[in-house]
Amino acid sequence: MLGRSLTAARGFCPSNSDKIVASVLFERLPVVIPKIDPVVYAFQEFSFRWGQQFRRQYPDEFLKKSDARGKGDYQIDYVPAPRVTEADKSNDKRSLQRALDRRLYLLLYSTAFGAPNGKPVWHFPEKVYESEETLRKCAESALQSVLGDLSHTYFVGNAPMGHMVIQPTENAHDLQRLKRFFFKSQLIATNKFKIEKCDDFVWVTKDELLEYFPEQADFLNKMIIS
């Protein structure tokens, strides 16, 4: 009995006057190394040339031995993957095979809680908190309902990365005040998902994401560090 009461005491208890929503910032990390900033490249080039002035001179016999290494039947010719893909050329935002040197974030187009007049809008995977043990559990349920399972996802931490309070608009006085908590999750070991329960979806960079939410752009720009 005591154990049950302690568990219940640790549960998340929202205010009766507010609706709590757990949103998921589902992120695909860069697949290829991002391009080096010109200033950083110039500094690295300068550092290399400066170091060359004081480098140790090795005997020619030693250099010949090092050049001979790696040559044989087992040698594999390495061809780097292209930075610009077909999805980049066609601007296919439904594909994960785009912007390989950038982080991508999943957005859904469907009816969301708090949307004006119940019309479809662009939003993050989300779920209204009901009876889940924690907010993270609620966020996991939100993402699982879209992806089908969480086998290729990794939630970063147990606490939300940010939250915002949305007041009812003049045209929606009947709606409750909304508190949205954001959790970060990352894609692991796959490049294709079957996205469900939405009319449309896109994988967008941070700059593109801000264009979908002009009213919250300042908040999202500070919350998303990439």
What domains, with CATH codes, occur in the chain? 19-33+85-223 (3.90.79.10)
E-strand ranges in the chain read 18-28, 104-110, 121-123, 126-128, 153-155, 162-166, 177-187, 200-204
Q: What confidence tens digit (pLDDT) does each residue in 155-192 have?
A: 999 999 999 998 876 665 556 788 999 999 999 988 88
Q: What is the DSSP letter of 111?
A: -
Residues 134-149, mean pLDDT to the nearest whole number: 95
How high is the pLDDT of residue 70?
A: 56
Angle, CA 209 vertex, CA 203 and CA 214 arms, to 5°: 150
How high is the pLDDT of residue 173?
A: 55
Cα distance between residue 126 and residue 140, in whole Å: 9
How high is the pLDDT of residue 5?
A: 35
Cα distance between residue 124 and residue 203, in whole Å: 11
* 3-state SS record for 181-225: EEEEEEECCCCCCCCCCCCEEEEECHHHHHHHCCCCHHHHHHHCC
CA distances in angstroms from 104 to 107, 143, 148, 203, listed in the order given: 10, 16, 20, 6
Cα distance between residue 100 and residue 62, in whole Å: 40
How high is the pLDDT of residue 7?
A: 37
Cα distance between residue 22 and residue 129, in whole Å: 7
- Asked if residues 219 and 209 have their Cβ atoms less than 8 Å apart, the reply is no
Task: Kindly give, in sequence order, each residue whose CB lies less than 8 Å from that of residue 21, ignoring residues fewer than 6 positions away.
Answer: 113, 114, 126, 127, 128, 129, 178, 179, 180, 181
Dihedral sign from CA coordinates of 212, 223, 162, 131: positive
Q: Which of 85-94, 117-126, 138-147 has the lowest mean pLDDT?
A: 117-126
Q: What is the DSSP letter of 36?
A: P
Residue 65: pLDDT band by 50, 70, 90 thresholds?
low
